[in-house]
Structure 1
Amino acid sequence: MRYSNKLILLTLSTMALILVGESHKSVPSDEEEEEMEKLLNYLNKPALKSFQTEPGYILDCIDIQKQLAFDHPLLKNHSIKLKPTIIPKWTKDNNTSHKSSSLPFRQDGISCPVGTVIVKRIILEDLIQAQRLKSLGFNYPGQISSKDKKIDLTGHHFATISYKDYHYGAKGNINVWNPNVSPDQFSLAAMTVSGNEGFQSISAGWIVYPGLYHNNQSRLFTYWTADGNNKTHCYNTLCPGFVHVSTKYAIGMLVQPVSIYDGQQYQLEVSIYQDHVTGDWWFVLNNEPIGYWPKSLFKPQGLADGASAVFWGGEVYSSVKEKSPSMGSGHFPQEGYKKAAYVNGFKIITDITKEVSSPLASALKTVADSPNCYNVKKILGVGEYWSRAILFGGPGGCTF
């Protein structure tokens, strides 16, 4: 269905998501089903080419100019950028004592034509569970002002490290696992940059959420908010805002292979940084620009002009009525490398042009709100990767 006013479409999208979120436990009426179908037709742009993946989801190649991002009112006249002005030169690590592999993301036979981007097709279940995710939020406790009484972190548990000083982006290598999670829980590992005490933030990493993906496998995810998860909050590409440019990697795709306990380790090389010319915030994965959040989405006291904090680590969510899920590898950091999950290679861009450095050790603060279930250990070792790092996670199985 076509509409002349994109703002009306955006309003329809918001209303329908609320409708889905409120009705997912009951059989929807014919009218509700019709609204959901309208929303799916709006979200899924016409595909020039499609691929059925082995895990069961569909990847579409869509016109880069027609992607959902440009239905955002603030991006009406936005000129798309195909790549950042520069990609920071992150230092390479020559230390081979703790060797890990970056994920290859093999997609045999999948290639999108020039002028398109690759996206995961949205289905009804995505909408239902994404609304639940948005209501739960992705908020590290150090991001949220204690003065704000509206933020509810019930059911959320964390094992993270933070750097709270002005910067223009960061990097971290996030160890990938498939933690054990029940359908109404999630477990994730991510890097988050934030401004204005966390009320504007961008996250990227991996998540295991069976309620959304129908299995216990890790998926690539992003999440952003411009107002503390009040009205502007978006998971992956389920609403306008994030401009996707990659023809190789689709947000929401399966992350594989995953690490093996006491065996081969795999990681996501994640960087989120502000372009010094445009002010846009870029998400780069394994040196491949995935896309960006335009500067116009944010406010000066938030992320429009740099960030005030960055967080690395894990988060889980579960209802207070059930035992909490595992985080990371499901093992405590005391067990060490190859057994506990890690994030290493912490880097900060301290100058908006290009200056890259390791954060001061004294500026890195760990937070573990439930240390009997999940913990975090700061590592100050040898080499560019392990000079600033953490081991984190735990088996969960706790009730709170």
Structure 2
Amino acid sequence: MASFKNSVLLILLTMAIIIVADAAKKGRVKASEEEKKELKRQLKAINKPAIKSFKTENGEIFDCIDIHKQLAFDHPLLKNHSVQMKPTNAPEWITSNNISQKVGLFQFLQKGISCPHGTVIVKRTTIQDLIQSQRLKSIGFNSPRHVLTEGNNIDLTGHHFATADYGYSRIYGVKGNINLWDVHVSNDQVSIATMAIAEGPIEHLASISVGWMVNPLLYQDHIHLYTYWTADGYTKTGCYDIKCPGFVQVSKRIPLGVLLQPVSVYGGIQKEMDLSLHQDHATGDWWFVFGGENVGYWPKSLFIGSGLVKGAHLASWGGQVYSPVKEKSPVMGSGHFPEEGFGKAAFVNGIQIIDGSGEALIPQIYTIKTHESTPMCYTTKYVHDDDEPWIRAIYYGGPGGCIG
């Protein structure tokens, strides 16, 4: 009965959002008092009661939620799910050379923001967030895509890629250190640095992607940590961060959707974040780890009937951008081509995978292929072996300016 009520609430919420979004134009949108009242009522189904709350300097609100009462458990497949506080197995990643600086766990949130034991930290969803998310769909960007979807029935109009892809053998985890750049895009554009895994035929494509995103309609400002998942080729399942039931948060220090800072400086200090995804061999859950901190996981049950139940067959690292039709595409990465090299071009280093035995491996050179959907605007350079300073890495990106 509870799951039925939640489904009804979400349907009513969607209807209310659409009513407001139909009148939306670029920028922030104002709702009538009646619409606000309805949206606030429906937001109670999304924003769980907070034990403690914080408001940041840029106006974002973070709530400390009882770990057992988070939104994830509104999903009908997770009705009787027991929270896994940590994975039963943790990969021992291979240490590699590093000449850039990693962003620490405590650099995201301002001092004084700390959640008590037994809670998790989540970014509060607002009425404006919901209106803007609907606006994002109306301009044609429903979600991050994957190069796997090219040549299939999924609309990739406005999407551009520059990635390195691994599909040589089945994998159970991926890792990469993603370079941080706070680029400027217009209100209707999106620029992403991503690491993703995927499995299954296109109609049942299951995929998880993590990284950073500059997306004014979704995050309002600057560069934010993002996640996205789907179990049916971006059709009905999945969402960003915790905007729908599914992802089980366990960290009380790293909220999804958080503003990332500090970032890289062109010709100066380079900043990166250490991300990994791996499947727990005992439970089948897919864990998201940031800088050694277990942020949370996508339970195996979300993917039963599609892929990712027993590993993945494709991994990808690199960049993606989106721009509406007839509008020039935005910058990707740092906005500079890979040929400019370290300190100027965006990169992902420390590329690794987990094989069937659970061991971390540095992929063989021939198993990684670069992909450039629009090479006149964005390219990829694969760095390996004797190419200093990393064993396996890519430079990617470009200034944009393409249409279509």
TM-score of the pair, normalised by structure 1: 0.92
The one of 14, 20, 24 aligned to 2:21: 24
**265-274 or 374-383, which moves further after superposition?**
374-383
**Paired letter, 1:330:** G
Q: Secondary structure at the match of 2:45?
A: helix
Give how far 1:358 is off: 1.1
**Paired letter, 1:307:** A
Distance in 2 of aligned mates of 1:316 and 1:145? 15
Distance in 1 of aligned mates of 2:392 and 2:305? 30
Distance 1:133 1:296, change over 3 A: farther
Distance 1:204 1:33, change over 3 A: same
**Paired letter, 2:235:** N
2:286 counterpart of 1:281: yes
Distance 1:275 1:80, change over 3 A: same
Give deviations 1:190-236, integer Å, cap 9, x for gaps.
11111014611001111011122222x11011100010111102111
Give deviations 1:125-144, integer Å, cap 9, x for gaps.
22123345565221122x22
**Paired letter, 1:206:** W
User: Where do residues 144-155 of structure 1 align in structure 2 (5 Å cutoff)?
Assistant: 144=149, 146=151, 148-149=152-153, 151-155=154-158
Distance in 2 of aligned mates of 1:197 and 1:340? 34
Distance 1:50 1:28, change over 3 A: closer
**Paired letter, 1:220:** L
Q: Secondary structure at the match of 1:9?
A: helix
Distance in 2 of aligned mates of 1:39 and 1:382? 56
Structure 2 stretches lacking a partner, 5+ long: 24-29
Q: Secondary structure at the match of 2:333?
A: coil
**Paired letter, 1:235:** Y
**38-47 or 245-254, which moves further after superposition?**
38-47
Give how far 1:14 is off: 4.2
Counterpart for residue 72 of structure 2: 69
Q: Secondary structure at the match of 1:190?
A: strand
Give how far 1:363 is off: 1.2
Asked if the contact 1:48/1:63 (under 8 Å) is kept, the reply is: yes
Counterpart for residue 212 of structure 2: 206
Counterpart for residue 90 of structure 1: 93
Distance in 1 of aligned mates of 2:53 and 2:198? 35
**Paired letter, 1:313:** G
Distance 1:359 1:129, change over 3 A: farther
Q: Secondary structure at the match of 2:267?
A: coil
Give how far 1:361 is off: 1.3
Give deviations 1:155-191, integer Å, cap 9, x for gaps.
1111111111311111011101011111111101011
Distance in 2 of aligned mates of 1:260 and 1:41? 41
Distance 1:231 1:300, change over 3 A: closer
Runs of 4+ in 1 over 6 A off after TM superposition: none
The one of 371, 378, 384 aligned to 1:374: 378
User: Where do residues 122-201 of structure 1 align in structure 2 (5 Å cutoff)?
Assistant: 122-133=125-136, 135-141=141-147, 143-144=148-149, 146=151, 148-149=152-153, 151-164=154-167, 165-197=169-201, 199-201=205-207
Give how far 1:87 is off: 1.9
Distance in 2 of aligned mates of 1:306 and 1:126? 33
Give deviations 1:97-124, integer Å, cap 9, x for gaps.
x333234442311111100000011111
Structure 1 stretches lacking a partner, 5+ long: none
Give how far 1:366 is off: 0.9
Identity of aligned residues (%): 51
TM-score of the pair, normalised by structure 2: 0.91
Alpha-carbon RMSD? 2.0
Distance in 1 of aligned mates of 2:219 and 2:300? 31
Give how far 1:300 is off: 5.5
Asked if the contact 1:191/1:310 (under 8 Å) is kept, the reply is: yes
Asked if the contact 1:17/1:128 (under 8 Å) is kept, the reply is: no
Distance 1:88 1:120, change over 3 A: same
Distance 1:88 1:37, change over 3 A: same
Counterpart for residue 318 of structure 2: 313
**Paired letter, 1:68:** L
Q: Secondary structure at the match of 1:365?
A: strand
Distance 1:11 1:160, change over 3 A: farther
Give how far 1:321 is off: 2.4
Q: How many residues align?
A: 390
Distance in 2 of aligned mates of 1:167 and 1:103? 28
2:120 counterpart of 1:117: yes
Q: Secondary structure at the match of 2:41?
A: helix
Distance in 2 of aligned mates of 1:170 and 1:133? 29
Counterpart for residue 225 of structure 1: 230
**Paired letter, 1:271:** S
